[in-house]
Amino acid sequence: MKTVTKVLSLVLMLALLMPVCTLTGFAVVEKKVEASSKSNVVVSNVLEEKEVDGYTVLVAQAPVKVTFEGTDLCLESIYFYPETFIMENSIIWGEEAIPVNFDVKKYKNFDGDAVYDMYEQPPEEEIVLMVSGNYATLTQPGNYTVSASPEAAAGAFFFIQVVEGEAEPEAEPTPAPTPEATPAPTPAPTPAPTTEPETPAVVKVKPTPSKVIVDGKVISFEAYGVDGYNYFKLRDLATVVRGTEKQFEVTWDGVAKVIRLTSGQPYTTTGGELTISENFVEKEGKLNTAKIFVDGKEVELKAYGIDGYNYFKLRDIGKLFNFGVEWDAQNNAVIIDTSKPYTE
């Protein structure tokens, strides 16, 4: 049985090489993308339209309905790219591309009027004619590509960047005020003395699901979250900034039990950097008790020992060595940029 896989891959490749299609506004939160003189792709809940690396990107709020309308489309596809990131001025392409299943995807052969379901009865012909009204609903935040084209034509190719939707809180009626008796004054209680809470010696740490982009490159870390902050293995951070102006050396003084950090010096590899253990799950972290010196001066930094390695708060290290640390909510990614200074 013949399949459409080969021809779809070829058309998708052609689409990548073609100029970006022209978009025209359809409604306030809806965009219509022209695929041909007879067909369009309609995208709901669009918040923003932008151009990045020569591609059109529609930022849309989940759930996003993508509808293919027209009478001449032979290719209709949507792919989810979990490892691809759309930055401000560039697109960092990942290798993984996952085809998205449509809610409705029907077709008919060129020599007949019978309509078939693409999933229940895959076509025997290499090229078929898609039925108008096919659609898919995108609910998972992330980056998607959409392709739509007639036979032997580039058609439309663009990105949809899906962000999480925010439900509006329901308004509650404000009750009418009721008169109350004025209470007799009571003496104010004497406040009890308060003390600063101590940092627990042992805490639960959870794996960080976010992607990490370092100077435009996606890098995998074994990082953990503690109290809403990302903690990274110190030697991993030293490894990824090595060779930049923000590089630093890490040494361990076992006799004095001191961690020494030296700015501007290239990091010396000891083994085990940027590895992810098979036991990358929630576990315990023990508060670090070793002293920490940066360029000969002692500093106070909170760190945890996890599986024999020292983990530091990413923002603390960024501040120490003045490299940029940002959170990209649309890409669900942590951004480390050594070309930028650290900012709060």
102 and 155 belong to one structural domain: yes
38 and 88 belong to one structural domain: yes
266 and 322 belong to one structural domain: yes
294 and 215 belong to one structural domain: yes
In a domain, 342, yes or no: no
18 and 137 belong to one structural domain: yes
Instruction: In the chain, count H helices and then E strands.
Output: 3, 30
159 and 210 belong to one structural domain: no
Task: Enter the pTM of the model.
Answer: 0.69
282: which DSSP letter? S
27 and 150 belong to one structural domain: yes
In a domain, 11, yes or no: yes
- Determine the average pLDDT of the residues in 105-129: 94
125 and 10 belong to one structural domain: yes
Residue 70 neighbours by CB under 8 Å, 6+ apart:
35, 36, 38, 39, 40, 132
21 and 150 belong to one structural domain: yes
- Determine the average pLDDT of the residues in 92-101: 94
17 and 125 belong to one structural domain: yes
Domain boundary among 163, 192, 227: 163
Domain boundary among 114, 140, 163: 163
In a domain, 173, yes or no: no
In a domain, 178, yes or no: no
How many Å apart are CA 52 and CA 147, to the nearest integer?
A: 17
In a domain, 343, yes or no: no
Looking at residue 172, its pLDDT comes to 46
47 and 127 belong to one structural domain: yes
Percent of the chain beyond pLDDT 70?
82
Percent of the chain beyond pLDDT 90?
72
Q: Give the pLDDT confidence of 146-176 residue by residue, as tens digits.
A: 999 998 888 999 999 999 876 444 444 444 4
228 and 150 belong to one structural domain: no
In a domain, 188, yes or no: no
Confidence tier at 1 by pLDDT (50, 70, 90):
very low
Handedness of CA 247, 252, 257, 262 (dihedral sign): negative
Q: Choose among 91, 11, 94, 82: nearest CA to 51.
A: 91
- Cis (ω within 30 of 0) for the bond into 63? yes
Element (H, E) at 321: helix 314-321
In a domain, 28, yes or no: yes
Domain boundary among 163, 186, 219: 163
The number of distinct structural domains making up the chain is 2
Terminal Cα-to-Cα distance of the chain (whole angstroms): 59
Residue 114: give the domain boundaries.
Answer: 5-163
Q: What percent of the chain is helix, strand and coil (3-state, nearest 5)?
A: 10, 40, 50
Angle ∠(307,308,314) on CA atoms, nearest 5: 80
Looking at residue 332, its pLDDT comes to 84
Q: Give the pLDDT confidence of 49-91 residue by residue, as tens digits.
A: 999 999 999 999 999 999 999 999 999 999 999 999 999 889 9
Asked if residue 142 lies in contact with residue 81, where contact means CB atoms within 8 angstroms, the answer is: yes
In a domain, 155, yes or no: yes
Asked whether the predicted pLDDT for residue 188 surpasses 80, the reply is no
